[in-house]
């Protein structure tokens, strides 16, 4: 914890970030509001807009980011960064079409140099690759071989895989998708759609072989003209490898006879994305779910589990499935056996949605722009339900809503049954 006298010596934006990262969202928001209300806040306007966005203060963020863009001296690269942030803010404010127009510009050739510098960087693999090598927003793809280079994490891979078949519909000769080896057990390949390992050597080969290069986020800009179209199956390319089977021990754990719904849990992320520390939720905050006695619980949480978390799991009889989850193919097999997944915003949430498995997602008030302004349901996945904070860092209302819905679910599954937790 930062000491009080240290805080007093900090510049405003530095103090805001320190408070936010320390979990002191209310204090950070109050200070941000004071700065935003000033004609001259004494800091970089663009950075203030970004910090407002990080705290979920989207209306104020939009104002400051637009104010920053009015400054003609803003550099080319900084302008890209500010527009990118503004697009995210507008998506969440429900201004989809305005946001999408700006995002298409960023992902088009107008900002190709900034994109190359910020997204691709100085990787020698990209030497010699110019703006004309990237697929533009309106360019025909008929007869072309398209390489979809990896960008983002597993959730992005799943979410944006829906656009692959739109490339084929438009006449692409072949599509090659970059992936991490642990992802391959859930992707349906075909004669015209194949996977390529995300290594520097293989990427260089595919760049040389392809006619155009693109990215999942760029396909989102190209094809997703409204939040409700295209209506193609979000899991068109996401499918469980029939050869993938769970271990006998895992199968036995999931096959336990019970009249209660079987529910999976994921409560934290190790990705360190910008939405932390608010994206994850302490396991003890899920006590209302763990102690309800109306479900049988399974942890799909991978990575390090603290002693405190292990104690909570043991106390409530949560079955740990992590030892059986070496790939997302394994996770998909577990999701098949569960009645519901309760999770924070993770790649597994996208996987469950793409597989059309019931999934309830706990969202912080400041979250990924892809969730738009949706409060309960999302156009991306028909089987997904959202539980969204109205106050950054405060999970009380989302958890109360979830607990009520969980009780209703349990009653509908087993209206006259009871089982000890």
Q: Give the pairing of strands 174-179 and 193-197.
A: parallel
Is the per-residue pLDDT at 147 higher than 70? yes
Q: Could you read off the pLDDT of 289-335 as tens digits, one per residue?
A: 888 778 899 999 999 999 999 999 999 999 999 999 999 999 999 99
In whole angstroms, give the CA distance from residue 303 to residue 346: 13
Helices (H), 93-197: 96-107, 112-115, 154-160, 164-169
Q: What's residue 421's pLDDT?
A: 35
CATH 1.25.40 intervals, the chain:
4-113
Is the per-residue pLDDT at 111 higher than 90? no
- Average pLDDT taken over every residue of the chain: 91
**Who's near 244: CB < 8 A, 6+ residues apart?**
185, 327, 329, 330, 332, 333
Q: 295, exposed or middle or buried, with CB in 10 Å at 0-12, 13-18, 19+?
A: buried
Comparison of pLDDT for 46 and 293, the residue scoring more = 46
Q: Could you read off the pLDDT of 172-225 as tens digits, one per residue?
A: 999 999 999 888 789 999 999 999 999 999 999 999 999 999 999 999 999 999
CATH-assigned architecture of domain 248-413: 3-Layer(aba) Sandwich (3.40)
pLDDT grade for 6, boundaries at 50, 70 and 90? very low
**Who's near 46: CB < 8 A, 6+ residues apart?**
64, 65, 68, 74, 78, 81, 82
Q: What's residue 35's pLDDT?
A: 94
Give the range among 3-7, 154-158, 333-337, 400-404 with minimum mean pLDDT.
Answer: 3-7
Comparison of pLDDT for 383 and 232, the residue scoring more = 383
Q: What's residue 117's pLDDT?
A: 82
Q: Could you read off the pLDDT of 53-69 as tens digits, one per residue?
A: 999 999 999 999 999 99
Q: What's residue 395's pLDDT?
A: 96
Does the 123-223 domain belong in CATH 3.40.30? no
How much is the average pLDDT of 29-39?
94
Smallest Cα–Cα separation from 27: which of 19, 35, 39, 36?
19
The answer to whether 284 and 337 are in contact (CB under 8 A) is no
CB atoms within 10 A of CB 343: 25
CATH 3.40.50.2000 intervals, the chain:
248-413
Is the per-residue pLDDT at 1 higher than 80? no
How much is the average pLDDT of 281-294?
87
What single-letter DSSP state applies at residue 40? Answer: S
Decide which of 2.40.10, 1.25.40, 1.20.1260, 1.10.3470 is the CATH code for 4-113: 1.25.40
């Amino acid at each position: 914890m930062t000491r009080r006298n240290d805080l007093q010596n900090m510049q405003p934006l530095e103090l805001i970030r320190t408070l936010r990262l320390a979990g002191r969202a209310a204090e950070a928001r109050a200070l941000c509001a004071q700065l935003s209300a000033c004609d001259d806040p004494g800091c970089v306007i663009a950075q203030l807009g970004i910090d407002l966005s990080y705290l979920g203060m989207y209306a104020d963020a939009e104002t400051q980011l637009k104010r920053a863009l009015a400054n003609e001296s803003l550099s080319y690269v900084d302008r890209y960064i500010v527009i990118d942030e503004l697009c995210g803010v507008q998506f969440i404010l429900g201004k989809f079409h305005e946001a999408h127009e700006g995002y298409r510009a960023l992902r088009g050739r107008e900002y190709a140099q900034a994109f190359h510098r910020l997204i691709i960087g100085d990787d020698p693999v990209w030497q010699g690759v110019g703006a004309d090598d990237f697929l533009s927003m309106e360019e025909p793809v008929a007869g072309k071989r398209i390489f979809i280079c990896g960008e983002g994490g597993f959730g992005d891979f799943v979410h944006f895989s829906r656009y692959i078949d739109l490339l084929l519909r438009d006449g692409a000769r072949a599509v090659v998708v970059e992936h991490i080896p642990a992802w391959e057990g859930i992707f349906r390949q075909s004669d015209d759609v194949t996977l390529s390992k995300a290594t520097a050597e293989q990427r260089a080969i595919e760049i040389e072989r392809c006619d155009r290069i693109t990215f999942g986020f760029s396909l989102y800009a190209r094809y997703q003209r409204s939040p409700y179209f295209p209506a193609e199956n979000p899991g068109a390319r996401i499918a469980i490898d029939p050869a993938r089977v769970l271990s006998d021990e895992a199968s036995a754990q999931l096959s336990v006879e019970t009249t209660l719904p079987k529910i999976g849990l994921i409560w934290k992320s190790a990705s360190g994305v910008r939405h932390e520390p608010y994206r994850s939720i302490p396991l003890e905050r899920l006590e209302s779910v763990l102690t309800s006695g109306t479900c049988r619980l399974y942890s799909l949480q991978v990575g390090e589990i603290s002693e405190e978390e292990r104690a909570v799991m043991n106390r409530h009889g949560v079955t740990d499935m992590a030892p059986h989850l070496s790939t997302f193919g394994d996770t998909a097999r577990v999701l098949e056996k569960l009645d519901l997944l309760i999770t924070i915003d993770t790649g597994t949430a996208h996987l469950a949605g793409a597989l059309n498995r019931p999934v309830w997602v706990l969202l912080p008030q400041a979250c990924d722009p892809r969730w738009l302004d949706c409060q309960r349901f999302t156009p991306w996945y028909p089987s997904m339900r959202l539980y969204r904070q109205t106050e950054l860092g405060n999970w009380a209302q989302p958890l109360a809503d979830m607990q009520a819905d969980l009780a209703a679910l349990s009653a509908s599954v087993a209206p006259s049954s009871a089982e000890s937790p």
